[in-house]
Structure 1
Amino acid sequence: MQLRSQIVETACAIAKKEGWPAVSVRKIADAIEYSAPILYEHFENKESLLEAIRRDGFAQLNAGFRDIKALYRSPEKQLTEVALLTWEFARNRPEVFEVMFNLGGAYSASKEVYAAEMSHENNVVWEMIAAFKPRFAESVNKTYQEWWVVTFGFIIIKMTVALKESNGYNENLYMENVRRYLRSVL
């Protein structure tokens, strides 16, 4: 398990420095001083490596979301903290966020992870929204989808379109939009 973690960490370090297109099994193997066949024992190919990083990224965010739900009672406060945690995650781990959302050359054809993440079943953010806006399920689902657009969409635009710290795509604007959205669905 330690080698598997080392492979993931090395892939992320290469991506952070050179971008995901520069990540290859050969480059990872050279960096950690193992042969490529050893790496293939842990990951079938680059796609399976990206899939593992994607799943781990969503798992890390979801663990943080569950902690927030346990810590705060107010659904509005919970969702505000979820938005802030999402922003911080993307800022501190951009290479993982890129994999999570097929950005920066970290493309994966798999839709399985997204379907699982967007599902309302056992989804703590959906539960927060349901508590925030307790209506019928269709209304909660719509609000939940809008939440993804407001939070993740803003971050993705920041990462793909906006220059670093320019064009007003900053944390203050992000949180202002999150708060405005939450007020609009009250």
Structure 2
Amino acid sequence: MKNPKRMSILRSATRSKILKTALEIVKSDGWSGLSMRGIAEKIAYTPPVIYDHFEGKDAIIAELTATGFRKLYAAIKKAQALALPAQQRLEAMWKAYWNFAVSNKELYRTMYGVEVSCSAMKEGFHKASEIPGLFSEVIREILPAKTASDDLVDAKYYMFWSTVHGLIAINLVNKGMSEQINQIILHEALRAQLAMVNA
């Protein structure tokens, strides 16, 4: 008689192995090199085993997308919890965002559709809706209470996000500049945006 708990653990382990292998393939061969057969060959499974866990490549990409947003959310939340003044916490949160993107380039590409179709990432993208709220909470702390309307808070968030995401996108698509130069630009850009929040 099969043990349901053991079967569940084995199934979860197999799914994790498939996702890990898929990401390894993407890192070495790019998104065009990802295929169900390629994953099966790399981990010595038959293709039907892979299809038993995921309907196709799009389902794997969607799961990777969701994983990426969970990890990004956790990194930002950790920075938000630092015992620092609001401005320093906000800067730490954006640096956490930057560090995640730099350390997880392939995941970030799936999350924001760089080199990946929007339809493939649709299932995981809803997790992104939780991230702006973390930044908005701290922006609201910095703004004077009488001026901290939802529209203004949203505008300030998108000003920050367009700056940081834009710099990340330049690096992902065009290879960008050295990490030292990037850090200088990131630091100056965040300071400029913080000054505008206080203006």
Q: TM-score, normalised by structure 1?
A: 0.87
CA RMSD of aligned residues (A): 2.2
TM superposition shift of 1:113:
4.5
Aligned to 1:66: 77
Please, which moves more after superposition, 77-86 or 6-15? 77-86
Q: Where does the alignment leave 5 or more consecutive residues of structure 1 unmatched?
A: none
Aligned to 1:38: 49
Q: Where does the alignment leave 5 or more consecutive residues of structure 2 unmatched?
A: 1-11
Establish whether residue 182 from structure 1 lines up as the match of residue 191 from structure 2.
no
Aligned to 1:139: 152
Distance across 2 between alignment mates of 1:29 and 1:170: 38
Aligned to 1:130: 140
Distance across 1 between alignment mates of 2:53 and 2:26: 19
Alpha carbons of structure 1 residues 153 and 115: separation in structure 2 relative to 1, 3 Å: farther
Per-residue CA shift, 1:132-181, capped at 9, x if unaligned? Answer: 22401111111122222111222112211244539x86122122211211
Cα contact 1:158–1:169 (8 A) shared by 2 = no
Of the two structures, which has the highest relative contact order with CA contacts closer than 8 Å and spacing of 6 or more? 1
TM superposition shift of 1:29:
0.8
Per-residue CA shift, 1:85-108, capped at 9, x if unaligned? Answer: 1222122111111111111x3323
Establish whether residue 158 from structure 1 lines up as the match of residue 171 from structure 2.
yes
Structure with greater helix share of residues: 2
Aligned to 2:185: 173
Please, which moves more after superposition, 112-121 or 77-86? 112-121
Cα contact 1:150–1:177 (8 A) shared by 2 = yes
Out of 87, 90, 93, which is 2:98 matched to? 87
Structure 1 consecutive aligned stretches of length 4 or more whose deviation exceeds 6 Å:
none
What is the number of equivalent residue pairs in this alignment? 183
TM superposition shift of 1:27:
0.6
Per-residue CA shift, 1:29-62, capped at 9, x if unaligned? Answer: 1111111111112211111111111111111111
